Amino acid sequence: MHLIRLLLLAFASGAASAATLQPFAGAGSEPAAPWRVVGLPNQTKPFTHFSVVSLDGHRALRVEAESSYGNLVHPLSLDQAPHHLVWDWRVEDPITAADIHTRQGEDIAMKVCALWDMPLDRVPFFDRQVMRIARSRSGESLPAATVCYIWDPHLAPGTELHSPYTGRVRYVVLRGPGDALHHWAHERRDIAEDFHKLFGDESAELPPLIGIAVGADADNTKSHSLGHAADVQLEP
């Protein structure tokens, strides 16, 4: 049911929010709190696997999907969010069968997402009703606006599009088929500017930033992917 995909970036119950982003690395290989793996409600398919590794001088998050779904979410509580999100990332194994224009092909080897608490009265009527149902079913305050920066094997950098499941999630392709695999790439995005560009027709005001997520999924194409992310930070 496509409604369930609205929960793709929902916060896990009991996850505490924070004022700043914490590093992935903890005492062992598991990502440190408040980073937390989040999937679909009552998920029966495999979860994407997240672990902390050392790679080329980085203490990095290893993100491996195997016909799986999952996000690593860091809840936040920022009424006045820093404008920039910076991170390093790389893809080792892309999903060549991906086609994010379609539901059956919407798989992503690496994504980094900003989750915004846009008021529901700014959301178009149909989406607003769907959001209310989703929030009621999940018991969570799901983000009404999500911008995901993605690494796609087919689309050119700069491509912007909606998720085929919901207009509440917008994609920006940052790395495409011309970008080298197995090499770190550095990103710095003005997330406030991107919000206004992608959701400005719905809200002139920048809503609170309530989370950052890193994820990968290969459940629709029954594929495998591997990527890494490191040094995810918020800056003025």
Mean pLDDT is lowest, of 11-15, 46-50, 229-233, for 11-15
CA end-to-end span of the chain? 39
Name the nearest CA neighbour of 71 among 181, 167, 212.
Answer: 212
Quote the distance between the C-alpha of residue 202 and its chain's center: 21
CA–CA gap between residue 36 and residue 72 (Å, rounded): 5
In the DSSP assignment, the letter for residue 12 is P
* Percent of the chain surpassing pLDDT 90: 71
Backbone CA torsion sign across 25, 27, 33, 37: positive
**pLDDT tens digits for range 91-108:** 999 999 999 999 999 999
Mean pLDDT of the chain: 89
Per-residue pLDDT at 19: 65
**pLDDT tens digits for range 167-198:** 999 999 999 999 999 999 999 999 999 999 99
Per-residue pLDDT at 11: 53
Domains for the chain: give ranges and CATH numbers: 2-235 (2.60.120)
Whether 166 contacts 126, CB under 8 Å: no
Place of tokens 């989040």: 38
